[in-house]
Structures are given as C-alpha cells and as structure tokens.
C-alpha cells in the first residue's frame, strides 16, 4: 500500500515538473518569436514610425499582428474621439513583414516537438500533457506585452487638448494570441513528435 502511494506521488511530481517546464518554455517561445520578428521587421518599423515610436514597441505591434491581433488606435481632439484598428502587416507590401505571420506557428510547433522528445511522449495523452501547458507561459507574456506595448501622447494647442494612443487589443491578445495559438500549434508539434517516436 505504501509502495503504491509513493509511486502515485512520483507520477504527480513528474506531471508537475512537465507542466512547469512547459510553462517556462512557453515564455521562451514568446521571446524567441518576438526576437525573430524583430530581425524581420525592425527596418520597416524605423521607416514607418521614425523616432515617434520605440523600435521594440513597433516590433511588438507587428508581433501581435502576426497572431491576428489588431492594434487599437485611439485619438481625441477637443472632446471629439475616434477609435480604429490597424493591422500593420496587412498594410505592408514587404515580404519580410508578411513572413512574420509564419513565425508564431513555426516556433510553437518546434517547441511542442522538442518538449515531446525531451519528456519521451509516445502517445496522444502524453503529448497533450507536455504541449498544452506551453499556453500558460505564452498567455502571460502576450497579456503583459499588450499592456506594456502601449504608446500614448498628449498635447495642447491653443487651449485645445489632444491625445492619441496605440496598443494591441488586450482581450484578443490573451485569448487568440496567448491561448489559442499555443494550444493549437504547440500541442500539434508535441502530438506529431510523439507519433513519430511511437513508430
């Protein structure tokens, strides 16, 4: 009886270790995806925004667009306000920025496959257990990033106040970019790797 209890505890620790590792890898996957996006689009960001927006922030907007998360642009002048959404990649005509759409899926599939190999996943259940928790870390980064990547300015001209801001839409950033993308792609990578290993 005591032996069974220890064995069960060992399995639960192993699962907890897998979840923790996958969560950490989710954070890493978001960082790697952002860095690759930076290399692809930083020149376009500088050309589009000049010194008005920091390079890292402009690249973050492209990174969110690569997850099909739009950027919300808000402007107010003298009490009149307007809100629009912007997809910088869709508006771009450069191949490098359009290629940014492929970065999140490729990174997440690779991460899922690496985790499945690392933890010797050999069936669908094991693959899901190592692939899906990537979502936890990825969602945290995408949610915090959407808050941090907000640019806002205020000015006053002849007594008329003006303000504008741009930031990724928070709910789509968390739900679409942070949850749906890693659930689909990291789990797919883990499942494919597990099936290959089980052959």
Give the model confidence (pLDDT) of 45-94 as tens digits.
999 998 889 999 999 999 999 999 999 998 777 677 788 999 999 998 88
| Token pair belonging to 42 | 């930083």
Q: Is the pLDDT of residue 5 over 60?
A: no
pLDDT of residue 154: 63
Confidence of residue 9 (pLDDT cuts 50, 70, 90): very low
Per the prediction, the chain carries an average pLDDT of 88
- The sheet carrying 71-77 orders its strands as 80-86, 71-77, 160-168, 151-157
Query: Average of pLDDT values for 162-175?
Result: 91
Domain count for the chain, please give it: 1
Close Cβ partners of 37 (under 8 Å, ≥ 6 residues apart): 59, 62, 63, 66, 100, 103
pLDDT of residue 38: 97
Q: Is the pLDDT of residue 160 over 70?
A: yes
Q: Which residue has the higher pLDDT, 107 or 94?
A: 107
Close Cβ partners of 5 (under 8 Å, ≥ 6 residues apart): none
Query: Average of pLDDT values for 152-163?
Result: 70
Q: Which residue has the higher pLDDT, 199 or 182?
A: 182
Most confident range (mean pLDDT) of 145-159, 160-174, 175-189 is: 175-189
| Token pair belonging to 74 | 């808000």
Close Cβ partners of 186 (under 8 Å, ≥ 6 residues apart): 22, 26, 29, 108, 109, 111, 112, 115, 131, 132, 134, 135, 138
pLDDT of residue 165: 86
Which domain covers residue 106, as residue numbers? 1-197
pLDDT of residue 77: 75
Of 32, 52, 170, 167, the closest CA to residue 103 belongs to 32
């Amino acid at each position: 009886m005591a032996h069974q209890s220890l064995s069960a505890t060992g399995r639960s620790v192993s699962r907890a270790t897998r979840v923790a590792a996958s969560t950490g890898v989710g954070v890493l996957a978001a960082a790697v995806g952002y860095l690759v996006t930076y290399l692809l689009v930083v020149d376009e960001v500088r050309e589009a925004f000049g010194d008005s927006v920091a390079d890292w922030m402009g690249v973050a907007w492209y990174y969110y667009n690569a997850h099909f998360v739009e950027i919300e642009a808000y402007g107010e002048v003298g009490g009149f306000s307007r809100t629009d959404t912007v997809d910088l990649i869709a508006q771009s005509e450069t191949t490098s920025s359009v290629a940014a759409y492929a970065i999140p899926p490729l990174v997440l599939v690779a991460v899922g496959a690496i985790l499945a190999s690392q933890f010797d996943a050999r069936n669908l259940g094991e693959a899901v257990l190592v692939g899906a928790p990537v979502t936890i870390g990825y969602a945290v980064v995408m949610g915090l990033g959407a808050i941090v990547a907000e640019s806002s300015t205020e000015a006053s001209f002849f007594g008329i106040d003006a303000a504008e801001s741009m930031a990724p839409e928070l709910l789509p950033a968390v739900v679409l970019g942070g949850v749906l993308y890693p659930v689909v792609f990291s789990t797919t990578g883990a499942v494919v790797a597990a099936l290959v290993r089980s052959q």
